[in-house]
Amino acid sequence: MKNILKRCLKNPLIKPEDMPMDCFAVYNGGAVKVGNEYIVMLRVENSSRRQFAWVARSQDGINFEPDPQPVRFTAEDMDSYNKNACKSWYDPRINALEGKYYITYAASSENGCRIGLGKTNDFKTVEHVSFPLHVSNRNAVLFPEKINGKYLMLHRPLSSRGDGNIWISDSADFQYWGNTELLVKCRSGLWDSLKIGAGPPPIKTNAGWLVIIHAVSGTCAGHYYTVGTLLLDLDNPYRVIGKSPGCIMRPEAEYEQTGFVPNVIFPTGAILESDQTLKIYYGAADNYQCLAEAHLEDLLATIKS
C-alpha cells in the first residue's frame, strides 16, 4: 500500500491534557476554514464519560487553541429536543452550505441514536434545526451545494445485522428527506466488511464528488478502522463512479494502535487548500485528534470503477 496520506509530524495535534477541562478523550473533530481561521469541532469526553462538543481554533491548521467553554446547544423547545434525542451527542461534522455552517452529529439516548442537524454562526452556540432521519443512524454529512434543486445527504443507518452501509437521501426544503437509496455496501471478508461510512462532507472535484470514507473490518483483536475513498457523479451523486479497492490508510502510528479504542482512525473533517492539498482531520484510537495530508490528484488516483 503506497502511503499517499502523510501524517502530520505534530500528531497527535490535540491530546486530552491540552483541553481546559477534565478530559478523558478528544477526537473525531469536524473541520472548516473560515477566512484565515481553521476551526475544528471536537468530540470530547470527561472522566465521567460525559460527552461535549468543543471548538479549537488555529491559524495554520496544526497548532490549535481550544475555546474556554464547550459548544452550547439551543433549541426553541428544549423539552421536545431532549425528549426526541438527546442524552449525549457526538462526532460533529461541519457542513458549509449556502454561506451557513450546519452541524450534523450523532444524537443518542436510551431510545436509540439518530442524526441531529444544527446550525451555527460563531461555533460557540449550535441552534437545533431538525432530526432529519429515523433512529438507528449516527453518521451523516451534507453536500456543500444543492444539486438539481435538491439538498443531499450521505448517511449510515444500522442494518439488521448491526453493520452499516452508505445511503443517500435528498430534500427539496431541507426539512423532509426522502428518495433514500443504498449507495455503497459492506463486502464480506474484505477491508469494508462490517461498516462503511462517509467521513467529512463530499469535496467537489472535476472528476466528481470525492468522499473520504471510513471502513471497518473484523480481526481477532476487534474492529479495525481504516480510511478509503469514494467518487460520486457530479450531476447525479446517486451514481457511484468508483471507490478505492482497498484502504489508503490504516492504523500504523502508536497513537492510532493504542489508546482508548485501539486500531481506529476515523476521518471527520477535511479542508482543501489552494495548492490542492487536502488536510484530513481524523480521530485516532478514540483518544486523540490528528491530521494527515494528501494531494487531491493522488487521492483521485486511488479510485477504481
- Residue 45 interacting with ligand BMA (CB under 6 A): no
13, 16, 23, 28: which one binds ligand BMA (CB under 6 A): 28
45, 91, 170, 192: which one binds ligand BMA (CB under 6 A): 91
Part in contact with ligand BMA (CB under 6 A); list of ranges 65-73, 142-150, 181-189, 260-268: 260-268
DSSP 4: -
CB of 90 to ligand BMA, least distance (A): 6
261, 272, 300, 301: which one binds ligand BMA (CB under 6 A): 261
Part in contact with ligand BMA (CB under 6 A); list of ranges 10-18, 95-103, 172-180, 261-269: 261-269
Burial 72-97 (b: 16+ CB within 10 A, else e): ebebeeeeebeebbbeebbbbbbbeb
- Residue 264 interacting with ligand BMA (CB under 6 A): yes
Query: Is the separation of the CB atoms in 269 and 30 below 8 Å?
Result: yes
Cell representation of residue 257? 494502535
HSE-CB of 173 using CA atoms within 13 angstroms: 3
Task: Give the whole-angstrom CA distance, residue 175 versus residue 85.
Answer: 17
Query: Is the separation of the CB atoms in 126 and 69 below 8 Å?
Result: no
283, 296, 299, 302: which one binds ligand BMA (CB under 6 A): 283
Q: Which of 23, 26, 21, 22 is nearest to 11 (CA)?
A: 26
- Residue 266 interacting with ligand BMA (CB under 6 A): yes
**Footprint of ligand BMA (CB under 6 A):** 28, 90-91, 225, 261, 264, 266, 283, 286
